[in-house]
Amino acid sequence: MSALVTRSLVKRFGGVLATDHVSLTVEPGELHAIIGPNGAGKSTLIGQLAGEIASDEGSVHVLGTDVTHMPTHKRAQLGLARTYQVTQLAKEFTALDNVLLAVNARAAHNFRFWGNAHHDAGAMQKATTALATVGLSHLHQAEVGTLAHGEQRQLEIAMALATEPKLLLLDEPLAGMSQGESSAIISLLKSLKGRYPMLLVEHDMDAVFALADRVSVLVYGRIIATDTPDRIRENAEVRAAYLGDGA
C-alpha cells in the first residue's frame, strides 16, 4: 500500500490554478522529492496534503485512508507529520517541551489535568530520544527563541519524528541554512531514509539529487515530470522549465 496517493488534486486561488491536477504517490520507504521554481505551488501542495488548505478537487489518501475532507489534527493522528518552510515552534517553550508536546500528541490519554507533564517518564524518554536523533541533546533546556536558525530547523524535524510518523512531509528543511548546517540536515535525512516514507520539497538541487529515490518537477502547479534523479537531470522539458533557468 502506498504511503501517500493524490489523484488530480486541485487548488484555485481566484483565477490562479495553484495546484493543477496533481497526482503523485509516495511508496513505503521511498523518499520522493518535489522541486520547482519559486511560486510553483510547492507549499500550497504541502498545505493541502497536511489539511491546512482545503482542496477544490481531487483526493488524498494516506496509508489507504481517504483524508481528503479530514481536518489537520486527524490526519496527524493517522501518522502524517510535517515540517514547515518557515519554522513553526512554540517559541516560549524549551526545546524539550516542544518535543514533549509532539510526543503527547500520540498519547491516548492526554486530556489530563492532574499530574505533571514532566513526570511522565515514558513520554520524557521518547522526547529525549527524538532530540538526540537530530543532535540537540545538549540544548534540551534551552528556550526555543534563543536557538540558532539551524537548530530550530533541526528541532522541527525532531518534533515530526517524535510523533512516531508513518509519513513525513518536509517543506524545505534546508531553507535559510548555512553550508555546515545544511550538511548536518542532509546526513540526518540520509539516516532517516528508508525508515519513513518521505515527501521532500526542496530548493537545494545537490541535496535533492543526493537523497531522492524519485523526483517530481512542479511548474505552475503542474507536475511536468516524475522520474529517477538521473533521468530528471537529463529531461529536456525539465531543463528548459527549471534547471536551465540558471539554477
Residue 242 neighbours by CB under 8 Å, 6+ apart: 35, 36, 37, 217, 219
CA distance 75 to 46: 13
What single-letter DSSP state applies at residue 134?
T
Question: Residue 173 CB, nearest distance to other proteins (Å)?
Answer: 15
Q: Does 141 bind other proteins (CB under 8 A)?
A: yes
92 binds other proteins, rule: CB under 8 A: yes
| Main-chain phi, psi angles of 124, to 5 degrees | -65, -40
Q: Is 245 in the site for other proteins (CB under 8 A)?
A: no
Handedness of CA 58, 63, 69, 73 (dihedral sign): negative
Count of other CB atoms within 10 angstroms of residue 33: 23
Per-residue x/- track, 156-195, other proteins (CB under 8 A): ---x---x--------------------------------
With contacts defined by CB under 8 A, name the span among 9-17, 24-32, 108-116, 213-221 that binds other proteins: 108-116
Mark 5-44 with x for binding to other proteins (rule: CB under 8 A) and - for no binding: ----------------------------------------
Site string for other proteins, 48-77 (x = CB under 8 A): --x-x-------------------xxx-xx
**What's the CA gap between 8 and 23, in Å, rounded?**
5
